[in-house]
Amino acid sequence: MDWLVQMFGEAQQRLFEGVVQPFLFHFGMANLLEDGYTATGWLLVGLLQIAVMVAVIVPLQRWRPVEPVVDRQAIRVDILYTLIHRLGIFRLALFFTIDPLWDALMGRLHVWGMPGFHLDDIWPGVTDNAWVSLLMYLVVFDLVEYWIHRGQHGFTWWWKLHAVHHSQRQMTVWSDNRNHLLDDVIHDAIIVLVAQLIGVAPGQFVAIVALTQLSESFQHANVRIWFGQLGERLWISPRFHRRHHAIGIGHEPMAPVRNKKVHGNNFGVLLPWWDILFGTANFDLRYDPTGIRDQVQANAKGQLRDYGRGFWAQQWLAVLRLMGRA
């Protein structure tokens, strides 16, 4: 792992010194050099992710597509979402809004005498090993992600935002970041708070986020791939996650899961273990159409719900849904 960290650090330093640092000096923002260096790391992660998506996952979509591409405009909008998130534009907004709040909260807790906690200190000599701690944090964050996802479907107000993500009928590798910005703010605020509470090192946090995002991009790909009977129960595949996006199956109260009160199934982000444990797993080997029921099934007035075609339309219509006006 050390050599990988060293290579990434060298690339981050070169990108920072060659591009970011001159930019900050030119615009009189030298006071943000340290934060700019951190932002450079996130930018580099995003560039590497996009490179893998284009070089590996896009060819897989051409090789074994689930369905033909019929709506390229929808895909172009998803690419815009991806660039906003993976190139650090959204994270930059969080830096000026959410991060200071959590830093202030943790500082206040320390003033009140609450000691800092690091999950990797629970078993000295074992859990403080770099690989062990990384895997441990990965599992913890995945459990948190599972329950966040359950909340996005279980709370009516939250679903009205999260529906932006599920309204994509042409799901591809670019669809993971298709979310309402407020939905993303809530999600990322929870994740950052958990990271602060369990003491994740910055480098490990970046690695966890990078791995999670890349895996999620693959899960959304328009590719007919599954991992076999055993593999499907170890790591979430495109087939497993597509069941979650399937119309009338993956994200509605009437979905066929063991727990009838659950709004859907296959909520896991990386590991299907939580779906298995909490009775929300659906391992049917099928590749159904994706979207939301009210996009294809008219209401009593004979109307289909409009979720918007463009970025701003999707964002605004979600706000109107929250207000009960759409």
Q: Is the pTM of this model over 0.85?
A: yes
186-235: pLDDT as tens digits: 999 899 889 988 989 888 999 999 999 999 999 999 999 999 999 999 99
| Mean pLDDT (whole number) for 284-313 | 93
Query: Residue 254: which pLDDT band, with cuts at 50, 70 and 90?
Result: very low
| The predicted structure's pLDDT at residue 255 | 46
Return the closest-CA partner of residue 183 out of 288, 60, 65, 314.
314
pLDDT of residue 115: 66
Phi, psi of 191 (to 5 degrees): -65, -45
C-alpha dihedral over 164, 168, 173, 179, to 10 degrees? 0
H-only helix segments in 17-155: 21-26, 33-52, 58-63, 72-86, 89-111, 130-154
Element (H, E) at 190: helix 181-198
- Please state the rounded mean pLDDT for residues 181-185: 96
| 11 Cβ neighbours under 8 A, 6+ residues apart | 44
- Within 13 Å of residue 194, how many CA atoms lie on the same side as its CB? 18
**Structure confidence at residue 68 as a pLDDT band (50, 70, 90):** very high
pLDDT of residue 124: 86
Whole-number pLDDT of residue 252: 66
pLDDT in tens, 129-144: 888 999 999 999 999 9
